[in-house]
Amino acid sequence: MKKNIRNFSIIAHIDHGKSTLADRIIQECGAVSDRQMSNQVMDNMDIEKERGITIKAQSVRLDYELNGEKYIINLIDTPGHVDFSYEVSRSLASCEGALLVVDAAQGVQAQTIANVYIALEHNLEIIPVLNKIDLLAANPDKVKDEIEHIIGLDCSDSVMVSAKTGLGIKDLIEAIIKKIPEPKTDDTKPLKALIYDSWFDNYLGALALVRIYDGMVKKGDDVLIMSTNERHEVLDLMYPNPISPIKTKEIKSGEVGIIVLGLKNVGDIRVGDTITCASNKALEPISGFEEAKSFVFAGIYPIETDKFEDLRDALDKLKLNDSSISYEPETSAALGFGFRVGFLGLLHMDVIKERLEREFNLDLIATAPSVTYEIVCTNNDKILVTNPSQMPSSDKIAEIFEPYVKATIITPSEFLGNIITLVNNRRAIQTKMDYITETRVLLEYDIPLNEIVMDFYDKLKSCTKGYASFDYEISDYRSGDLIKLDVRVAGEVVDALSIIVPKTKAESKGRELVKAMKEIVPRQLFEVAIQASIGNKIIARETVKSMGKNVTAKCYGGDITRKRKLLEKQKEGKKRMKQVGKVNLPSEAFLSVLKID
């Protein structure tokens, strides 16, 4: 039976039609009835359907009959956005093949290239698929040439489909069965199951989605999680299905399935871990599965301070479903108790904050994101700083190292000037420029991660009318001339608003930041000074004018000195208030840093 199993993934750039193609394959295999079918049936989060993006890789087991023989097809749909490329690598580790979907109108994009390299690292059989061939703008021959020129894949037997209309889907499924190899496994060896996804179910506890490499697992078996060495009983086994999982008594080698162990503690299952049989233990776990490293850090605080423990519980449960986040408690003078959370990118941060608010009913404030800096102190100590408020004073710093990324941008040549202007303002170093065709250019840059983490993607899209595509990977740490910029509101430093900026840009950033803050800070009964400072030196200032109460409203006519006396009294009161006045900052103030350019 094993020779009739096919495990494959779908990889592509954003919006090239992965999820729609998955819908058509599921429909063709009859796994979901027409009544139950919906658009992007595998995207089961509200936030995925609203934004039209895949955030979580999803799996489905399909049955298909070809020439009288029955096949099991395990499809793993992957995200396309750069922030979720970790999900892609995780899914590809569990497959033998991948469909490389390329839009027949848009051609090869930046993330198409990045995802292909991940697939090649896992030695997968890659089938090129040209999607959207029903569009008037489709040019399959030109796109085939692009794939061969940029990626080096032979496109002579690529499959042409339209995921929207269902054209060519049967041919695609036949190509999957013919070209993707069967899983290489051994039923006689001890059980080895790779956990490649997990999530929390309120009724069943922590669930593990596994790919079985060797052996088999049955309901009632005693199993061992290799990293913790803890024994558990298998309470239930299921095959993944987009509508509801299908129960089974056993899962054999080469198959994909869900193991229910009834675990209440979310920390007991870790993605990338190996499950083996307690009585006949595997000698070593499945290797080559890297943990995700966080590159962007932000403070997340509950608006209601008594919700701190609820936030901790929510992060624990979310980490089970998204193992790429990291977090540790931190306190802020301005915001109280919260967590410093590590993300893979800005979209990832946005999605995690929204999931915390929606799925766990929390009201949260997020501070401006920052990256990890490596600081060499004057006494030769090395420290890692993820929060600008942890940065030592300038007299104790010998050198600061910041992370750089290798960025790939593919753009129509007419926008080349705009892109070069944009990246030059972000301290980028060009390493490559290659004309793919007469009208499309591939650019490679080394850019500090700090420069792209705020709003680079939005600016890139707006200066190219949405036509440029962008992908990046972390390369190394390099020395930088950086400084900490503080914001003072009514004379007090607001630690949650501190940012690390290049020395040359400090004054302009400071001016823009206090300007943006002035629009957000509500008027008080006294004047509020908003200042940007480097150490004790003030470099920019804006003043929020006081809001006057009409103290003379009750004076009808009469001597002017009466009114003057009341106004003088009010002025004295405001002076006193200014000395003890506290300003409550709205949550938007902490993201005003994102609005500066």
**Binding-site residue positions for GTP:** 15-20, 131-134
**Cα separation, 582 vs 112, whole angstroms:** 52
- Could you list the beta-strand ranges (E) of 174-239: 192-201, 205-214, 217-218, 222-225, 230-233, 236-239
User: Strands 97-103 and 5-12, how do they pair?
Assistant: parallel
CA-to-CA dists, residue 195 to 210, 259, 551, angstroms:
4, 9, 69
Taking the C-alpha atoms of residue 506 and residue 135, their distance in angstroms, rounded to an integer, is 49
Tokens of 563: 């009114």
3 state SS of 16: coil
* Token pair belonging to 332: 């802020």
Sequence-separated (6 or more) residues with CB below 8 Å from residue 580: none
**Nearest of 372, 395, 402 to residue 480 by alpha carbon:** 402
Please enumerate, by residue number, every residue annotated as part of a binding site.
15-20, 131-134
Closest by CA position to 394, among listed 536, 594, 266: 536
- Helices 85-92 and 110-121, interaxial angle, to 10°? 30
Written as one string, the DSSP assignment of 265-290 is -GGG--TT-EEEESSS--SS-----P
For the chain, the 3-state helix, strand and coil shares in percent, each to the nearest 5, are 30, 35, 35
Q: Which residues pair with 342 in a beta bridge?
A: 297, 326
How many Å apart are CA 112 and CA 123, to the nearest integer?
Answer: 17
Residues contacting residue 500 through CB under 8 Å, at least 6 positions apart: 370, 373, 388, 391, 450, 482, 483, 484, 485
Instruction: Say if CB 503 and CB 482 are below 8 A apart.
Output: yes
Please give the helix or strand (H or E) that residue 516 lies within, else none. Answer: helix 506-520
For helices 456-463 and 416-424, angle between their N-to-C axes, nearest 10 degrees: 150
